[in-house]
Amino acid sequence: MSETYNIKGQDGIQVFTDLPEGAQVTLTNGAVGTIIGNPRDGAFLEVTYSEHPDSSLVGADEFVFFNQVESAASK
């Protein structure tokens, strides 16, 4: 059962900061990735893309800014 993380609510900053490795994020551009690192700075997540509109980026790692993250859910 996957749990959705409420990253947009009032406690969203804390939820975002605490997102665990392995959680799935969907980005505003439609990309989907798995969190491989959370620097806990409330700003960035390091993700590996499993889907990306630019297919050359599938499998690549990138740091994504919080306003690119549409939603997050546990695996």
Partner 1 sequence: MANIVRAIGDRSIRAYIDPERGTVSRELYVNDDIFAQELEQIYQRCWLLLGHESQIPNPGDFVVTRMGTEEVLMVRDRKDHKIRAFLNSCRHRGMKVCRYDEGNTLVFTCPYHAWTYDTKGKLVGVGFGNYANAYTDTLPTGSEEWGLVEVGQICNFYGSIWATWDPKAPSFQDYLGPFAESLRHCLQSSDGEDAGLEFFTPFQRHRIPTNWKVPGFTSVTDLTHTAMTHRSAQAAGLHEDRGTGKETAKPFPQEKYAIGDHNLGHGGMCTFYDQLGVPDYANEWFEPGVDDYFRAQTERKKLLIADRIMPPHGWGGGHFAIFPAVMVDSWRIRYYHPHETGITERWSLFGVDKNAPDHVKDAVRHYAERFNGPVGFFESDDMENWNYVFPASQGATARKYDYFYRNGLGHGKYDDRLPGVVVNGSYTEEAHRARFSRWLAFMEAKSWDDLYPLNKSANHNIWPGVDGQASAKA
- Which residues contact partner 1 (rule: CB under 8 A)? 27-29, 37-39, 41, 43-44, 46, 62-65, 67-68
**Distance between CA atoms of 8 and 25, rounded to whole angstroms?**
13
User: What is the closest distance, in whole angstroms, from the C-beta atom of residue 37 to partner 1 in the complex?
Assistant: 5
User: What is the closest distance, in whole angstroms, from the C-beta atom of residue 1 to partner 1 in the complex?
Assistant: 29
User: What is the closest distance, in whole angstroms, from the C-beta atom of residue 21 to partner 1 in the complex?
Assistant: 11
What number of H helices and E strands is found in the chain?
1, 6
**Distance between CA atoms of 40 and 54, rounded to whole angstroms?**
27
